[in-house]
Structure 1
């Protein structure tokens, strides 16, 4: 077995799994690098399904990374949002963008326990059997099933039913919302939002952002109109974490990525990432 060739083939899938668990591009890349060091010592002849083996390995390492950094995230100033990964044609992140899960699901995963998030990714993204999930989490298959079930219930409670066409629905909603904001039409903005809509803004203490989620359609509408008054705005559509989004530049500097999630009631959540550290890898030119 050519270890390097096999690893390269499955690297995008490993990156996607590690990212869904950690919510961080940097951490996912570190996880996959650690997985390579471990994989290089594995006897390839003993591995029947390298893709599944590597996916599980990356997930286990990602779980360890999240456990290590949990206290740091708990002291983070304001909401902690997953890092935006913008589609730029790189094959490295092709799986993340093609799975279409979007930043909304990645955010909900960060609100779960690390074990619940890892169990969900292993089962629903990588299609790993429950006995193997139990091995990763050092628990029983029955407990692993329960972790996946709890994760699914939490995701459904926050995002509703996840089905096909989410990317297209979110893209249409983002376009209509942008048009309403450009026209300064408060009523039109409110009509596009669900009554219990929430706006999350992550500045990381390095850029102006709301330290608490903004709740309600009316408050969000006025917040959006206030932001639209900033000078030199340039807004560009983009695929962010496999979902619909836009890049916002102010006077030539990328300051924000925006994504959203729609349900039958309208735009249910908006996610503004403004922390410069989380935007550093994005080429907005």
Structure 2
């Protein structure tokens, strides 16, 4: 193979690299595993007979989907035996993602949590069909199943997700406004202001992974959740005094979120899901240090679907 053709093939892979990461991340829920899947896809691509590949995008998507499926199956037991709630690994995202409502919703922490309840096959089929708009035939080839099996899995997954995700979408400016008000109230210790922003039956999910102290069960109710966040500025956390803790608003998983840091490291992220009235219905707080590397490196990911 000539150097020119190798350069062309490298350029082709690079052209689709963001798409491959987007697929792998939605399938796996962790940036580290998604990056590994993309790297493994490159190895397979570079060693394949690419002269026989008619559609590089479909071919690469099939490779990364299969790699992600294998990894998802192998990690399923670890997630089921995880200490406390298992939440996806948060990532910083670019403004383009936030502007594309479908892209942002499909990569939101709330949606990724729902996807965790699907079987690996259902998750792959749902992501490829509903998010990336692949045909049933293309998906069947990608996951190495019959088209009939893919259609059945797609139906099951769609019904499952619909039952667990609200059918409304709070507009982006409203989400930003509520998040900014929550940020000010939490960092200022204003319980009453927090209560105004929370749905009465709001649920807080925290993920410390047994590495740092967090609630091992969901925290439910506006009063309890408001008290939890109002204490941020008054207690020492992971050895960091309140005066040495920094908080900032950032874009996480396609929406506005909060990032906490101190002593030169990221210590937690907080993201939100909203009800029909624009109040906060779910809060996802990731504090497991193993899951904060992607945020800590400061890279904003493009997780668009094209």
TM class, shorter-length: 0.7 to 0.9
Q: 1:236 aligns with which of 241, 248, 259?
A: 248
Gaps of 5+ in 2: 236-241, 299-306
Alignment partner of 1:275 is 2:288 = yes
Alignment match, 1:24: 30
1:260 CA drift (Å): 0.8
Alignment match, 2:301: none
Q: Which moved more, 1:109-118 or 1:187-196?
A: 187-196
Superposed CA deviations along residues 57-114 of structure 1, whole A, max 9, x for unmatched, are: 211210110001111111111111111112479xxxx879963232221222122221
Residue pairs, 1:35-50, within 5 angstroms: 35-50=41-56
1:45 CA drift (Å): 3.4
Q: 1:205 aligns with which of 202, 206, 210?
A: 210
Contact 2:90 2:253 (C-alpha < 8 Å) held by counterparts: yes
CA distance in 2, matches of 1:150, 1:166: 28
Contact 1:56 1:122 (C-alpha < 8 Å) held by counterparts: no
4+ runs deviating over 6 angstroms = 94-98
3-state SS of the aligned residue for 1:40? helix
CA distance in 2, matches of 1:8, 1:185: 48
- Of the two, which has the highest radius of gyration? 2
Alignment match, 2:15: 9
Contact 1:103 1:243 (C-alpha < 8 Å) held by counterparts: no
Identify which of structures 1 and 2 has the higher relative contact order when contacts are C-alpha pairs closer than 8 Å and 6+ apart: 2
Contact 1:159 1:261 (C-alpha < 8 Å) held by counterparts: no
Q: Which moved more, 1:46-55 or 1:114-123?
A: 46-55
Q: 2:86 aligns with which of 80, 85, 104?
A: 80
Q: 2:268 aligns with which of 256, 263, 266?
A: 256
Q: What RMSD over aligned residues (CA atoms) do the two structures have, in Å?
A: 2.5
Cα 1:234–1:199 shift into 2, 3 Å: same
Alignment match, 1:145: 151
1:21 CA drift (Å): 0.6
Cα 1:226–1:12 shift into 2, 3 Å: same
Residue pairs, 1:100-111, within 5 angstroms: 100=104, 101-111=107-117
Cα 1:229–1:125 shift into 2, 3 Å: same
Contact 1:237 1:247 (C-alpha < 8 Å) held by counterparts: yes
1:167 CA drift (Å): 4.3
